[in-house]
Structure 1
Amino acid sequence: MALPSDVKIRRYEARDRDAVRWLCCQTGFLGKPIDPVFEDRELFADYLTSYYTDIEPESSFVLEHEGQVKGYLLGSRMPIKQQLHNIFQNARLFVIGMFRYHRYNPATKEFIAWILRNSWREVPAAPRKMAHFHFNVLPEAQSLHGTKTMMDLYFDYLRQHGEKAVFGQMVTFESRRGARVLERFGFQVLERKEITKWRNKHPEPVYLTTAVKLLEVAEK
Structure 2
Amino acid sequence: MSVIRPYRPSDRDDVYEICVRTGASGADATGLYSDDDLLPDIFTGPYVTYQPDLAFVVDSGDHAAGYVIGVSDSRAYADWYAREWLPAFAARYAVQDAPTEAERDMIRFGLDPSTSIVPEVADYPAHLHIDLLPELQGQGFGRALIRRMLEELRERGVPAVYLTMSPSNAAARAFYDRLGFHELPSSRPDGPALGISTSAVV
Instruction: Tell whether the structures are fold-level matches, with TM greater than 0.5.
Output: yes
How far does the alpha carbon of each residue in 1:170-201 deviate from its partner, in whole angstroms, 9 at most, with x for none?
A: 224474123x532321211111342xxxxxxx
1:81 alignment counterpart: 76
The 8 Å contact of residues 21 and 49 in structure 1, kept in 2 or not, is answered as yes
Query: Corresponding residue for 1:161?
Result: 156
Structure 1 residues 112 and 91, CA gap change in structure 2 (3 angstroms): farther
Runs of 4+ aligned residues of structure 1 deviating over 6 Å after TM superposition are 116-120
State the 1:148 CA deviation. 0.5
Structure 2: distance between partners of 1:8 and 1:216: 23
For residues 183 and 96 of structure 1, do their structure 2 counterparts lie closer, same or farther at Cα, with a shift above 3 Å needed?
Answer: same
Given the alignment, which residue of 3, 10, 19 partners 1:8?
Answer: 3
Query: How many Å apart are 1:91 and its aligned residue?
Result: 4.6
Q: TM-score, normalised by structure 2?
A: 0.82
Aligned-pair Cα RMSD in Å: 2.8
In 1: Cα distance, 2:109 partner to 2:96 partner:
21
Matched, 1:210 2:155: no
Report what 1:135 is aligned to.
Answer: 130
Query: Could you tell me which residue of structure 2 aligns to residue 49 of structure 1?
Result: 44
2:179 matches 1:185? yes
| Shift in Å, 1:60 | 0.9
**1:26: which partner in 2?**
21
The structure 2 residue matched to 1:112, chosen from 103, 106, 128, is: 103
Matched-pair contact (CA < 8 Å) for 1:71–1:141 = yes
| Structure 1 portions without partners, runs of 5+ | 1-5, 195-207
Question: Does 31-40 or 182-191 show the bigger shift?
Answer: 31-40
Q: What TM-score, normalized to structure 1? A: 0.76
2:93 aligned to 94, 97, 102, which one? 97
Q: Percent identity?
A: 22
Q: Where does structure 2 lack aligned partners over 5 or more consecutive residues?
A: none
- Tell me which residue corresponds to 1:62: 57
- The structure richer in strand per residue is 1
Residues 185, 176 of structure 1: alpha-carbon distance in 2 compared, 3 angstrom cutoff: same
Aligned residues: 194
- Aligned mates of 2:156, 2:108 — CA distance in 1: 39
Q: Considering only CA atoms, is the larger Rg found in Structure 1 or Structure 2? A: 1
Q: CA deviation at 1:99?
A: 8.8
| 2: CA distance, partners of 1:172 / 1:99 | 24
